[in-house]
Amino acid sequence: MEALVLRGLLTDEEWAFFEPFVVETGPFRGRPPGSHRRVLDAIFWVARTGIPWRDLPPELGNWNSVHRQYRRWTTSGLWDVLLQALADGGGDADALQMIDSTIVRAHHCAAGGKRGTDRQGLGRSRGGFSTKIHLRTNAHGLPISLTLTPGEAHDSTAYGELMEERDSDPGILLADRGYDSDAIWQDVRDHGGQPEIPTKRNRRIQHSVQRPFYALRNRIERCINRLKNCRRVATRYDHTASSFLGFVQLAAIRMWISFVHAA
């Protein structure tokens, strides 16, 4: 039988970025994984292909061990640290930022988790059982911050959390009409920025946008498209919001690393 050909494994350059973070992460419960690189390869393979953990190819390790390590790294906040480390290097690109959201359909496997009063970012929208990913990007369309809400939540409800994730305030903030509110306009201006947000048609006072700037919003839309190339992002299978957000963050981290090495 021919050996399974595994595509999309970490390059040496990508592993060089992850290594100092994952090797020092701890403490581990039980024996630490024999190869952190292989564990990361397995996690990224699940993210890209969308397969269930139990169907992980044996060449990438024991599925249960890999899944438990993914949960340890996720609950420890490792993906937040990695994304923050990359986003802090945005430089001049942070002067222009964009915010947007996208609906992700939740598979029926995502239901049934222990929630209590916490909805785990799941809700019912016109698109059905879903989660909404909210993101903030820099001028290159690279994610700066990410958060989740139930699918029916209005775009503007996640604005505060997106803008609190980092210290750098935008000089220009691009957003669509879903973010047109007095509170958002005032907040951007209070922090020294210029909002480029089309006003809703029922507004008594209409504000125009600068077309050359507003046209750059296609970069955040392309970012969303690239994130959804990971099938564990395009469809939500995870019970918990933290696990699903972890896959979104990993897709964003890999986008950043590809951009940095291509620059």
Nearest to 142 by CA among 101, 182, 98: 98
Q: Phi/psi at 238 (nearest 5 deg)?
A: -85, 140
Residue 207 or 251, more confident: 251
Distance CA 103, CA 138 (A): 21
Q: Tokens in use for 144?
A: 């700066």
Q: Return the bridge partners of 132, or none.
A: 103, 149
How far is residue 242 CA from its own chain's centroid?
11
- What DSSP element (H or E) covers 205? none
Residue type, 24: E
Q: How far apart are CA 28 and CA 30, in angstroms?
A: 6
pLDDT-based confidence at residue 32 (cuts at 50, 70, 90): low
Judged against a pLDDT cut of 80, whether residue 116 lies above it is answered with: no
Domains of the chain: 12-76 (no CATH), 92-238 (3.30.420)
pLDDT over 90 percentage in the chain: 52
Tokens read off for 11: 């390059």
First CA to last CA across the chain, in angstroms?
41
Hunting for tokens 């005032």 — which residue is that?
Answer: 186
Tens-place pLDDT, residues 58-110: 989 999 999 999 999 999 999 999 999 898 877 888 899 999 999 999 988 88
User: What confidence score (pLDDT) does residue 29 get?
Assistant: 47
Report the residue count for the chain.
263
CA-based nearest residue to 171, from 218, 219, 224, 213: 213
Mean pLDDT throughout 236-242? 93
Each residue's pLDDT tens digit, 153-211: 988 889 999 998 656 788 899 999 889 888 999 999 998 899 999 888 777 777 777 88
Specify whether the CB–CB gap between 102 and 133 falls below 8 A. yes
CA distances to 56, 63, 207 from 145, rounded to whole Å, are 29, 29, 27
Mean pLDDT of the chain: 87
Asked if residues 145 and 165 have their Cβ atoms less than 8 Å apart, the reply is yes
Asked if 43 and 232 count as a contact pair (C-beta separation under 8 A), the reply is no
Least confidently predicted of 20-29, 62-71, 118-127, 128-137: 20-29
User: Looking at residue 204, what is its pLDDT?
Assistant: 76
119 Rama class: left (phi>0) / alpha (psi -120 to 50) / beta: alpha
What percentage of the chain carries pLDDT values higher than 70?
90
pLDDT for 114: 59
User: Which residue did the predictor score with more confidence, 10 or 89?
Assistant: 10
**Per-residue model confidence (pLDDT) at position 117:** 45
What pLDDT was estimated at residue 175?
A: 92
